[in-house]
Chains A and B, each alone.
Chain A
Amino acid sequence: MLGYGFPKSSFMKGMSYRPDAIVVDAGSTDAGPHKLGAGTAIVSKQACKKDLEIIITEGVKAGIPIVIGSAGGSGAKAHVEWTRAIILEILREHGISGLKLSTIWADIPVEVVEAKLSEGKCEPLGATVKPLTRERLHATNGIVAQMGHEPIVEALKEGADIIICGRAYDPSPFAAVAIHRGFDPALAYHLGKILECSALCAEPGTTKDSMLGILRRDSFVVVPLDEKRVCTAVSVAAHTFYEKEHPYLLHGPGLVLDLKHCVFTELGDGSVEVRGSRIERTPVYKIKLEGAMKVAYRTFVVAGVRDPLLIARIEEVEKQVERQVREYYSEIDPEEYQIHFINYGLNGVMGELEPNKQPAHELGVVFEVVAATQEMANAICSSVRSTFLHYGYEGRKSTAGNLAFPFAPSDIPFGPVYEFSVYHLMEVADGLEMFRHEYTEV
């Protein structure tokens, strides 16, 4: 994972095998929708530059292509430009020139999505994805699609030295290098799936290390590069569980990877050989779209409750606090804001999914107000805080205050809250149609 850091020693050990390419995944939706919505990166510039400096200088020295998947985390225009600026800075600082830089954009114009929606060629991916109305679509900040290997293979054919991909299906940049060199796409994608999480398939697993993949005609081998780590048949087999909805059927752009019949063999030196991966092209090529929209502004407060009388009726008191605040702000449309309490020590982590109803001896209470503007969220949250602090619930004995605030000031304006508004599969002609290339000579 680009920007998570890796030991230079294992990277250099990998380079001693004289690899054909260096590939790194930079993408994830794990951190939520705001990275895509706000156009910010998942890692700091310093962290990204530190990793890229090693990758680029060593890759250039070895004369092999460097491929970066899902640049900047979300892989939209702002993220790709951010990554490209860092790369250009590194090249300048090291006096490197004479390279061909390829940028592959993954942004999808809103008009394209709108047209596909009306043709019935764009469907939600998941039972709880909200319908993509025209209003929500137009409120969305930038839509990206996950590219397959095809646009990356194209850039490799053009002789690109550094390829910066916008949003990509995580294994695609790895698979592209192998497919470009004529290897079996099933093995290429399966190996890509393993390598995109770096050394997570080893024991002990980590995303902060380098990992080597060696492709053969009918198998591949994964080799951990740090002496502390070994791969086992089970650790590599189990890796495909990670973050995927199915343990051996993996859906990618225009393809389904079937790993059910794979055979994993330990080679005795900490590496594992894999054979039997299968791939099927889907009859219709579909790409996964991601988009985020701003839904509100938030202000929140962190507080603690130690009083057993209050703990015993915390949810009831919170309802009363909300009712009183709503009465106080009766001039504001009740739909324009929402109040929410999270009670750590009761059901803070799981909410209504929590089976254990027994509260702890103290509670951490986080309460938030989301509203149409930051100003409104601040004002209402301030009322929630003061009302909650002094609320005279039935049976109260601690009449001086109900909440322990760890910080002053207690109210924290958070800024905008985003939501994944687009998480859809869209039909396209092929893997190249939606992804535009740009080449720069450096």
Chain B
Amino acid sequence: MKLYDVASVLRSKNSGPFEITLDVLFRDAEIYRKVKASGRINKETIARLYNIVPELISHIVFFDQALGFKITFARKVSSGTFLDRDVYGAQQHAPLMELEVELE
């Protein structure tokens, strides 16, 4: 299954002008636990999906009460200046949607 098949919210946004943050939220607590337990969500996976060095990733955090996890990484170009392509950072989530997750 792909992550977007099982998540109820999968989005990206600036967290300040120098970072992109990805949020993945679930409705089903069981699926959330399985995704968390799969160990698939780690710096290596994210660095590969986004073609960035792992050092740019500042946070990968699961929050059980919210049934979700968050990934934050540094932008190479800050929001709204020359060479930026996404001022709000709202369309940087698609590579994460395609991630294959095992839920068995």
* Residues on A with beta carbons closer than 8 Å to the beta carbon of B66: 234, 237-238, 240-241, 247
A331 adjacent to chain B (CB < 8 Å): no
* Residues on A with beta carbons closer than 8 Å to the beta carbon of B78: 33, 128-129, 419-420, 423
A353 adjacent to chain B (CB < 8 Å): yes
Tell me if A350 and B17 are in contact (CB < 8 A): no
Q: Contacts A247-B66, A353-B51; is A32 near B87 (CB within 8 Å)?
A: yes
* Residues on A with beta carbons closer than 8 Å to the beta carbon of B65: 233-234, 237, 262-264
* Residues on B with beta carbons closer than 8 Å to the beta carbon of A298: 82
* Residues on A with beta carbons closer than 8 Å to the beta carbon of B13: 242-243
Q: In the bound complex, what is the Cα–Cα distance between A304 and B58 (angstroms)?
A: 38
Q: Contacts A126-B18, A238-B25, A350-B92; is A296 near B82 (CB within 8 Å)?
A: yes
* Residues on A with beta carbons closer than 8 Å to the beta carbon of B75: 128
Q: In the bound complex, what is the Cα–Cα distance between A137 and B67 (angstroms)?
A: 43
Tell me if A125 and B79 are in contact (CB < 8 A): no
* Residues on A with beta carbons closer than 8 Å to the beta carbon of B61: 246-248
Partner of B18, one of A32, A128, A355, A368: A128
A338 adjacent to chain B (CB < 8 Å): yes
* Residues on B with beta carbons closer than 8 Å to the beta carbon of A436: none
Contacts of A401-440 to chain B: CB distance below 8 A: 417-420, 423
| Nearest CB in chain B: distance from A412 CB, A | 16
* Residues on A with beta carbons closer than 8 Å to the beta carbon of B23: 238, 241-242
What is the interface size of chain B, counting residues whose CB is below 8 A from a CB of the partner? 48
Q: In the bound complex, what is the Cα–Cα distance between A352 and B75 (angstroms)?
A: 12
Q: In the bound complex, what is the Cα–Cα distance between A348 and B84 (angstroms)?
A: 10
* Residues on A with beta carbons closer than 8 Å to the beta carbon of B94: 349-350
**Interface core residue of A29, A34, A241, A349 (most chain B CB under 10 Å):** A241
Tell me if B58 and A33 are in contact (CB < 8 A): no
* Residues on B with beta carbons closer than 8 Å to the beta carbon of A244: 15, 21
Tell me if B51 and A419 are in contact (CB < 8 A): no
Q: In the bound complex, what is the Cα–Cα distance between A127 and B57 (angstroms)?
A: 10
A112 adjacent to chain B (CB < 8 Å): no
* Residues on B with beta carbons closer than 8 Å to the beta carbon of A368: 82
Tell me if B82 and A245 are in contact (CB < 8 A): no
Tell me if B81 and A246 are in contact (CB < 8 A): no
| Nearest CB in chain B: distance from A289 CB, A | 12
| Closest partner residue, chain B, to A33 (CB atom) | B80
Q: In the bound complex, what is the Cα–Cα distance between A241 and B65 (angstroms)?
A: 12
Partner of A247, one of B27, B49, B68, B82: B68
| Nearest CB in chain B: distance from A239 CB, A | 8
* Residues on B with beta carbons closer than 8 Å to the beta carbon of A126: 16, 18-19, 74
Tell me if A129 and B80 are in contact (CB < 8 A): no
Q: Contacts A128-B18, A348-B85; is A246 near B95 (CB within 8 Å)?
A: no
Tell me if B80 and A238 are in contact (CB < 8 A): no
Tell me if B74 and A128 are in contact (CB < 8 A): yes
Partner of A125, one of B16, B56, B59, B81: B16
A30 adjacent to chain B (CB < 8 Å): yes
**Interface core residue of A243, A263, A298, A353 (most chain B CB under 10 Å):** A353
Question: What are the 7 A-B residue pairs with the smallest beta carbon separation, nearest first?
Answer: A32-B80, A126-B18, A419-B81, A237-B66, A238-B66, A247-B63, A237-B65
Residue contacts A-B, CB under 8 angstroms, 20 given: A29-B14, A30-B14, A30-B79, A31-B80, A32-B79, A234-B65, A237-B63, A237-B67, A238-B25, A241-B21, A243-B13, A245-B58, A247-B69, A295-B81, A338-B82, A340-B82, A349-B94, A353-B52, A420-B17, A423-B16
A419-B82, A420-B81 known; 9 other A-B pairs, CB under 8 Å? A125-B18, A234-B27, A237-B65, A243-B14, A245-B70, A263-B65, A349-B91, A355-B51, A420-B78
